[in-house]
Amino acid sequence: MPTRDSIYVDGTWVASTGSDTIEVVNPATEEVVATIAAGTTEDVDRAVAAARRAFAAWSATSADKRAKYLYRLQEALTARATEVSATITTDMGAPKKIAQAVQTGLPITTLGVYANLLSTYAFEEMVGNSLVVREPIGVVGAITPWNYPLHQVVAKVAPALAAGCTIVLKPSEVAPLAVLLFADLVHEVGLPPGVFNVVTGYGPVVGEAIAAHPDVDMVSFTGSTAAGKRVTEVAAATVKKVALELGGKSANVILPDADLAKAVKVGVGNCFLNSGQTCTAWTRMLVPADRQAEAVELATTAAAGFTVGDPTADGTKLGPLVSASQRDRVRGYIERGIAEGATLVAGGAESPDGVERGYFVRPTVFADVRRDMTIAQEEIFGPVLSIMPYADEQEALEIANDSVYGLAGGVWSADRDHAVAFARGMRTGQVDVNGGRFNPLAPFGGYKQSGIGRELGRFGLEEFLEVKSLQL
């Protein structure tokens, strides 16, 4: 893979003002596969200046013309989907099928969603004697993570472009290569210079410069809660809008009358998706106490089906974690769970059998997990499931809500109305009822320390709009 040591500013690839570079490592092989530029504050200044210059013309571009650019991007990404998904597998270790269907497929869908939305969204309406106008907020700073490296970018870039905003993006330095390919596509479709800019680099340098910049009108950040707090703190000095999509510790509540076998199987798959590196992962499985043994048996069997290995192989279901530090962090949580008295029923902190290199972790299941245990409270971000018994539905709801997070969750019951009633009591931004499918039109975001604001669909578009009223 070629060296990508330039940044994309004002419609062209240019050298960084700094000389430092960052190595990109394939987590399955531990080999360096590329280097990227370690951007500087001066690079951010250049990118923001370009975005500011481009804003007046882009914000005045018709919704129809903005939609055409999004359709072109969708077509370009679709044409390069195989290359992009293979790059994501190399970049952060997603198994081939996940990289194709989710990591690449979802961004393609999202681009189409926003292109379509522009044909129907009402940017103006009359409210009494007032004309209420929704206008683009301005220059958007987007800071994105490594776990879904392209989806998290497109979930910000597509609605921001649709709204008429210009963008300065800092992708994760851990898995940036698919994003740089996306920038190539932006260039190919002829998006006007300065509308979309990319500065690679480290969070404390590039990310903080974006959040602090007085000419950035809004920061949209996805990542850890700790980093989100820092972004908010830095952005507060200029009183800019901040949208945050942060951590999660989601509960999968299996009610007594549910189809236990189905609920457990789907729940394990949800927890282990993307090697557990998913903010919405159902990492807490709540089961009736008198059925915990049955649930444990089902979960253990399901976990055994998650083949660990080469993410480019067809049969692999569980790829590596993204880095050595992430692998060590997750293994540390497994050891902590054992030390605090949880019952290890599958997996463990040892390297998977037959794996000699790569940042792999065994698919791990704990039983008898109490709500005060570290593994029940903190986001692990790896393939680790905690099975938690409850006495009755009231206790199940209390356990589900006993978290500083509130991003996602699941609830299962033979009676859908009963499941919906239970879901209404869960303090979380999304709840899947009986395995309800992911909906890219629905709002995505969290309660409590899982974030501020919403992404996807019209709700995501409105995050990038200011509201003005004209009294007539």
Q: DSSP states of 299-327 as a string? A: HHHHHHTS-BS-TTSTT--B---SSHHHH
**13 and 138 share a domain?**
yes
- Average per-residue pLDDT for the chain: 97
- Residue 284: in which H helix or E strand, if any? strand 284-288
Question: Could you give the 3-state DSSP secondary structure of residue 93?
Answer: coil
The answer to whether the CB of 88 falls within 8 A of the CB of 94 is yes
| Cα distance between residue 396 and residue 410, in whole Å | 12
**260 and 223 share a domain?**
no
Domain encompassing residue 325: 251-439
Confidence of residue 255 (pLDDT cuts 50, 70, 90): very high
Question: Token pair of 32, please?
Answer: 């360096």
- Does the pLDDT at position 174 exceed 70? yes
Residue 350 annotated as catalytic: no
The answer to whether the CB of 150 falls within 8 A of the CB of 175 is no
**264 and 277 share a domain?**
yes
**34 and 153 share a domain?**
yes
| Cα distance between residue 107 and residue 126, in whole Å | 34
Backbone angles phi, psi at 471, to 5 degrees: -80, 120
The answer to whether the CB of 59 falls within 8 A of the CB of 165 is yes
Question: pLDDT over 90 for what percent of the chain?
Answer: 98
- Does the pLDDT at position 423 exceed 70? yes
CATH code (residue 464) = 3.40.605.10
| Number of domains within the chain | 2
Residue 165 annotated as catalytic: no
For residue 141, list its beta bridge partners: 168, 219
Question: Token pair of 452, please?
Answer: 């501020």
Quick check: is 59 in a domain? Answer: yes
**261 and 150 share a domain?**
no
Quick check: is 1 in a domain? Answer: no
CATH code (residue 354) = 3.40.309.10
- Give residue 139's pLDDT: 98
Closest by Cα among 471, 16, 109, 94 to 317: 94
The answer to whether the CB of 250 falls within 8 A of the CB of 280 is yes
**152 and 199 share a domain?**
yes
- What mean pLDDT comes out for the span 348-362? 93
- Residue 367: in which H helix or E strand, if any? strand 364-367
Strands 130-136 and 124-127: antiparallel
**33 and 57 share a domain?**
yes
- Does the pLDDT at position 2 exceed 70? no
- Does the pLDDT at position 140 exceed 80? yes
**200 and 325 share a domain?**
no
Quick check: is 355 in a domain? Answer: yes
Give the CA dihedral 157, 162, 165, 170, nearest 10 degrees. Answer: 0
- Does the pLDDT at position 34 exceed 70? yes
Quick check: is 445 in a domain? Answer: no
pLDDT tens-digit series, residues 76-121: 999 999 999 999 999 999 999 999 999 999 999 999 999 999 999 9
Question: Could you give the 3-state DSSP secondary structure of residue 89?
Answer: helix
Quick check: is 367 in a domain? Answer: yes
- Give residue 1's pLDDT: 53
Q: Exactly one of 165, 173, 208, 245 is catalytic; name it.
A: 245
| Cα distance between residue 18 and residue 46, in whole Å | 13
**End-to-end CA, the chain:** 59
Question: Token pair of 198, please?
Answer: 């990319």
Quick check: is 173 in a domain? Answer: yes
Confidence of residue 71 (pLDDT cuts 50, 70, 90): very high
Quick check: is 308 in a domain? Answer: yes
- What mean pLDDT comes out for the span 324-341? 98
**73 and 175 share a domain?**
yes
**430 and 305 share a domain?**
yes
Q: How many CB atoms lie within 10 A of CB 57?
A: 12
User: Which of 144-148, 189-193, 231-235, 313-317 is predicted with the least confidence, judged by mean pLDDT?
Assistant: 313-317
**381 and 463 share a domain?**
no
Is the sign of the CA dihedral 441, 442, 443, 448 positive or negative? negative
- Does the pLDDT at position 148 exceed 70? yes
- Does the pLDDT at position 356 exceed 90? no
Q: Exactly one of 173, 271, 279, 463 is catalytic; name it.
A: 279
**235 and 288 share a domain?**
no
pLDDT tens-digit series, residues 384-396: 999 999 999 999 9
The answer to whether the CB of 50 falls within 8 A of the CB of 174 is no
